[in-house]
A and B are shown apart, each in its own frame.
Chain A
């Protein structure tokens, strides 16, 4: 076990993947000499050369579109979109090409591509640097969407995403890049399935389902609740397409109450799908309606307002209270 920050863990995971498969190439803006604006690719160009860690022109559609061609040639591209809000120029290539090519060609063409997107707020950034666009991608057939919340998962899940024969959108909670955790660098790809949620803290009263940046927030809420004698079960979803409803159902079967939390706007977000599915699966076991908390239906605000926009432990606890009051 090694202690490392999430960003460093992803970096180490990328290095592992590049060492074990010469077809893995990294593409993105500023990922080479600079090592990425968050330094997630730091040192990799020096180690693997400019052929495998490619600084691209500033064109997101171009990055993904050329990665499609590289994948068709047998490469395994790992593309970095520098910030969440810059994913949209690449949206057409991702949704119309990356997601569909395997199905379009009846499996003749495979798209083993990983698209890394640092996402979410909380870093006091300017506009377009704090968004949570995961629902757009999870809504698209043909893509897999995952997000890590801690260093161990960062290291394991990036390797699993790269090894996947399908395209994976890999969301990295940028405000947690510096949070440290224990990483087993020898963990095998089979040590935990990519598409399985994890119970981070077991509890009995209310299930909190969340992912990415809000897992830490939910854990903080669980500590506060525990002091008041309320037992929260915190589930890190880890995977947003597919969503591990079996794990959620099992948890809600125990607690009877579910609060879903994410930074993305609540309206038509991941929480909406979870609320619908869990209502179908657990109708007679639910003690209260599934509640959702998250971003408001407003554009991501300027930095001085982001604390009001982002769900914090208090908002999670408020939802817990409302759930328990029914």
Chain B
């Protein structure tokens, strides 16, 4: 029997007062960790503020630049899809703070197990946006080497990666290392059995894993209440996993709670579940049409909570930005966009014979037979056409 301990100075799992809860068993304002309000003002009183007290003006400016660049990457990719350069794109519009805030909390030795919308996380891990494009262009199943960036490439079967993160964390534990695995997933994935199994394994073995749920309210056309009767953060409790609900559009609050969860993992206290409450402002993918299932009013409501606008308002209120800085940010975003566009268009496409590469790590006679047979077929075709 293991005991899960919370850090005494941080309330890991505030309990709502009976009678003040909504349909999901929550008092939305009370139990949502928030450090910057939608109006850009710092909120006071949260014990989590201490965890990001070191983030000064320069870092705040660089965070804002990341948020803008990531949004620009997303817009450029959507444009590339519309122009036929990508087969598909899963926009992260609206989720920039949840991704940049959490990714910036990570250490180099931590390992991210991503879903497929974590372009902002990938950017923060140092992945060249061109590498991201190649997957969505259909040129490869994996745009980068996971070990190079400490981050997996997209997991399309939602929730599958939570188990991989948990197993990786068990490996960290066996190694006696003090790093963490971080599983990113969405609200839809929480309905998958693999998530429950991951929670179970992680809690049992006290694995150093952070479960980071971006609750963006929609799983394609299905609203979050179709996935869960309770707030997603509440699911952790039943497994004995301390859980935190955070304003996912507040980059500082997300960073703070992620640091808290990582500190628990590093110090052998086991898993933490973070529910970052955010909103998918765009479609599920470029093939989706949200107007068929959600009201414009909801989109308007969330526009007022835009994760970029509030950081900008904060920077302005604290006198931390000027025209020159904003110009730099725009230039940086434009350069990134230009580079990923030319990188995407200039992709060297794989050759047909590469079909047979790396199916197995060791030689396999069936693969070799088919490789030879297909090569002979291609040769016959060429002979006939010449």
- Residues of A bordering B, CB below 8 Å: 25, 51, 56-57, 59, 61-62, 64-75, 89, 92-93, 96-97, 100, 102-112, 141-142, 144, 164-166, 195, 241-243
Known: A75-B174, A166-B361. A62 touches B194 (CB 8 A): yes
Contact: A74 with B171, CB < 8 Å? yes
B259 to chain A, nearest CB (A): 23
Contact: A65 with B175, CB < 8 Å? no
Contact: B163 with A105, CB < 8 Å? no
| B347-386 Cβ-contact flags toward A at 8 Å (1 or 0) | 0000000000111111011100000000000000000000
Question: Could you jot down 13 A-B contacts, CB within 8 Å?
Answer: A69-B113, A69-B170, A72-B164, A73-B167, A73-B175, A92-B160, A93-B160, A102-B360, A102-B361, A103-B141, A108-B145, A165-B361, A166-B361
A107 contact from B169, B175, B358, B365, Cβ within 8 A: B358
A68 contact from B140, B163, B174, Cβ within 8 A: B163
Contact: B163 with A65, CB < 8 Å? yes
Q: Which chain A residues lie closer than 8 Å to B178 at the CB level?
A: none
Say yes or no for B95: interface residue by CB 8 A criterion. no
Say yes or no for B166: interface residue by CB 8 A criterion. yes
Contact: B160 with A97, CB < 8 Å? yes
Say yes or no for B184: interface residue by CB 8 A criterion. no
Say yes or no for B157: interface residue by CB 8 A criterion. yes
A16 to chain B, nearest CB (A): 20
Contact: B181 with A242, CB < 8 Å? no
Q: Which chain A residues lie closer than 8 Å to B197 at the CB level?
A: 57, 59, 61-62, 65
| Cα of A163 to Cα of B362 in the assembled complex, Å | 11
Say yes or no for B85: interface residue by CB 8 A criterion. no
Q: Which chain B residues lie closer than 8 Å to A110 at the CB level?
A: 361
Of A65, A100, A102, A111, the most chain B CB neighbours within 10 A belong to A65
A320 to chain B, nearest CB (A): 29
Q: Which chain A residues lie closer than 8 Å to B11 at the CB level?
A: none
B142 contact from A25, A108, A164, Cβ within 8 A: A108
Q: Which chain B residues lie closer than 8 Å to A141 at the CB level?
A: 359
B261 to chain A, nearest CB (A): 18
Q: Which chain A residues lie closer than 8 Å to B146 at the CB level?
A: 72, 105, 108-109
Q: Which chain A residues lie closer than 8 Å to B157 at the CB level?
A: 92, 96-97
| Cα of A69 to Cα of B113 in the assembled complex, Å | 9
Q: Which chain A residues lie closer than 8 Å to B105 at the CB level?
A: none
Q: Which chain B residues lie closer than 8 Å to A74 at the CB level?
A: 171
| Cα of A97 to Cα of B141 in the assembled complex, Å | 12
Q: Which chain A residues lie closer than 8 Å to B172 at the CB level?
A: 73
Contact: A59 with B200, CB < 8 Å? yes
| Cα of A105 to Cα of B168 in the assembled complex, Å | 17
Q: Which chain A residues lie closer than 8 Å to B162 at the CB level?
A: 65
Contact: B358 with A66, CB < 8 Å? no
B133-178: which residues lie under 8 A (CB-CB) from chain A?
A: 140-142, 145-147, 153, 157, 160, 162-172, 174-175
| Cα of A68 to Cα of B169 in the assembled complex, Å | 11
Q: Which chain A residues lie closer than 8 Å to B160 at the CB level?
A: 65, 92-93, 96-97
Known: A96-B157, A96-B160, A242-B364. A65 touches B359 (CB 8 A): no
Say yes or no for B193: interface residue by CB 8 A criterion. yes
Q: Which chain B residues lie closer than 8 Å to A61 at the CB level?
A: 163, 193-194, 197
A302 to chain B, nearest CB (A): 29
Contact: B201 with A62, CB < 8 Å? yes
What DSSP secondary structure best describes chain B's contact surface? Answer: helix
Known: A74-B171, A108-B146. A103 touches B166 (CB 8 A): no
Q: Which chain B residues lie closer than 8 Å to A142 at the CB level?
A: 359-360
Q: Which chain B residues lie closer than 8 Å to A65 at the CB level?
A: 160, 162-164, 166-167, 194, 197-198
A62 contact from B163, B168, B362, B364, Cβ within 8 A: B163
Contact: A106 with B140, CB < 8 Å? yes
Contact: B164 with A69, CB < 8 Å? yes
The residue of chain B having its C-beta at the shortest distance from the C-beta of A74 within the complex is: B171
Contact: B358 with A166, CB < 8 Å? no
Say yes or no for B286: interface residue by CB 8 A criterion. no
Contact: A165 with B171, CB < 8 Å? no
Q: Which chain A residues lie closer than 8 Å to B366 at the CB level?
A: 241-243
Q: Which chain B residues lie closer than 8 Å to A144 at the CB level?
A: 360, 364
| Cα of A182 to Cα of B165 in the assembled complex, Å | 42
Q: Which chain A residues lie closer than 8 Å to B201 at the CB level?
A: 56-57, 59, 62, 66
Q: Which chain B residues lie closer than 8 Å to A96 at the CB level?
A: 157, 160
Say yes or no for B204: interface residue by CB 8 A criterion. yes
Across chains A and B, which 9 residue pairs bring their CB atoms closest together, nearest first? A69-B167, A65-B163, A73-B171, A66-B167, A62-B197, A69-B168, A165-B361, A69-B164, A104-B141
Known: A104-B142, A105-B145. A69 touches B359 (CB 8 A): no
A72 to chain B, nearest CB (A): 5
The residue of chain B having its C-beta at the shortest distance from the C-beta of A73 within the complex is: B171
Contact: B204 with A57, CB < 8 Å? yes
Contact: A69 with B165, CB < 8 Å? yes
A106 to chain B, nearest CB (A): 5
| Cα of A141 to Cα of B145 in the assembled complex, Å | 21
| Cα of A141 to Cα of B356 in the assembled complex, Å | 11
Of A51, A102, A103, A142, the most chain B CB neighbours within 10 A belong to A103
A248 to chain B, nearest CB (A): 13
B378 to chain A, nearest CB (A): 20
B112-141: which residues lie under 8 A (CB-CB) from chain A?
A: 113, 140-141
Of A70, A73, A106, A242, the most chain B CB neighbours within 10 A belong to A73
The residue of chain B having its C-beta at the shortest distance from the C-beta of A243 within the complex is: B366
Using A65-B162, A65-B164, A107-B357 as known contacts, list a sample of 8 further A-B pairs with CB atoms less than 8 Å apart, ordered by residue number in A: A59-B197, A70-B168, A73-B167, A96-B160, A100-B141, A103-B357, A111-B361, A141-B359
B183-242: which residues lie under 8 A (CB-CB) from chain A?
A: 193-194, 197-198, 200-201, 204
